[in-house]
Amino acid sequence: MILRRLVLLTACAAVVSAQDRIVFSRVFPGSVPESFEASVDREGRVIYTEPDEEPVEFQLDGKETAQRFDQAEALDFFAGNLASDRKKVASSGSKVLRYEADGGVKGEAAFDYSEDEVVRDLAGWFVKLAETQQHLFELERVVRFDRLGINQTLILLENAFEHERIIAPERFVPILTKITLQKNVVHIARARAAGLLERIAARKS
């Protein structure tokens, strides 16, 4: 019975490890961050990594996940060339899109700029994911070490919301809630955090 259970657990682990994944990486000196990699699997599990930092893992909703995999399928799982032939294009960093399935690589393409709108949208989504993580990192930092900087950080976060640059905004709920409850934080920052919580709730509904 124990042996059978171990076999089943091993089989389940193999299925999880073989889960289809879209992986995106970018190297862009001078940007913040200068390099990162992010992946999303069909269950919506996202793993985000930067050099010298612990990986961050979170969950996407089903609609968002399905949209990304529909895009990957429309792009033949990155099996072809995604790069533009145009020579005079401002660089936005070296990018790689990779599709992993059955424990191997089904397709991989490197590019800086693409003429394909679907490629640009998918790459842009991953870039927004990285920007979102930077906002979360910074908000967590100022809450711990720089209370006077909280309001300005929230202003920047508000601006990102208004320009639809935030992915999975519900991830901000715990830290925003914490800000609203801290009496040693200035009132305007607590009110701004409460306003952002209302916007996140409204978007979810």
Decide if pLDDT at 38 tops 80.
yes
**Nearest to 72, CA basis, from 99, 38, 34:** 99
Listed range (33-42, 62-71, 83-92) with the worst mean pLDDT: 83-92
Whole-number pLDDT of residue 16: 41
Q: Give me the DSSP letters along 59-71.
A: E--HHHHHHHHHH
C-alpha gyration radius of the chain: 20
For residues 87, 36, 105 and 124, what is the CA-based torsion angle, rounded to 10 degrees? -60
What 8-state DSSP symbol labels residue 169? Answer: G
CB 22 within 8 A of CB 69: yes
| Mean pLDDT, residues 78-100 taken together | 91
| Mean pLDDT, residues 68-92 taken together | 92
Task: Tell me the pLDDT tens digit for each residue of 130-187.
Answer: 999 999 999 999 999 999 999 999 999 999 999 999 999 999 999 999 999 999 999 9
**Nearest to 168, CA basis, from 130, 113, 138:** 130
Q: Which residue has the tokens 């657990």?
A: 9
Mean pLDDT over each residue of the chain, to the nearest integer:
91
Listed range (9-23, 79-93, 95-109, 140-154) with the worst mean pLDDT: 9-23
State pTM to two decimals: 0.88
List C-alpha distances in Å: 168 to 24, 161, 189. 17, 11, 22
Q: Which residue has the tokens 């709108």?
A: 117
Inter-axis angle of helices 117-145 and 62-74, to 10 degrees? 140
Whole-number pLDDT of residue 85: 87
SS3 43: coil
Cis peptide before 33 (omega within 30 of 0): yes
**Nearest to 26, CA basis, from 39, 13, 11:** 39
Please name every residue paired with 57 in a beta bridge, in sequence order, or none if there are none.
47
Task: Tell me the pLDDT tens digit for each residue of 1-20.
Answer: 433 333 333 334 344 445 89
Percent of the chain past pLDDT 70, that is, above it, reads 91
Whole-number pLDDT of residue 151: 98
Whole-number pLDDT of residue 7: 36
Whole-number pLDDT of residue 18: 58
Domain boundaries of the chain, sorted by first residue: 17-116
CB 128 within 8 A of CB 64: no
Whole-number pLDDT of residue 28: 97
Alpha-carbon distance of 170 to 117, in angstroms, equals: 28
Q: Tokens for 143?
A: 């809450």
Listed range (95-99, 101-105, 106-110) with the worst mean pLDDT: 101-105
Whole-number pLDDT of residue 205: 73
| Mean pLDDT, residues 77-82 taken together | 96
| Mean pLDDT, residues 48-57 taken together | 95
Whole-number pLDDT of residue 12: 40
**Nearest to 100, CA basis, from 111, 108, 109, 89:** 108
Alpha-carbon distance of 19 to 106, in angstroms, equals: 12
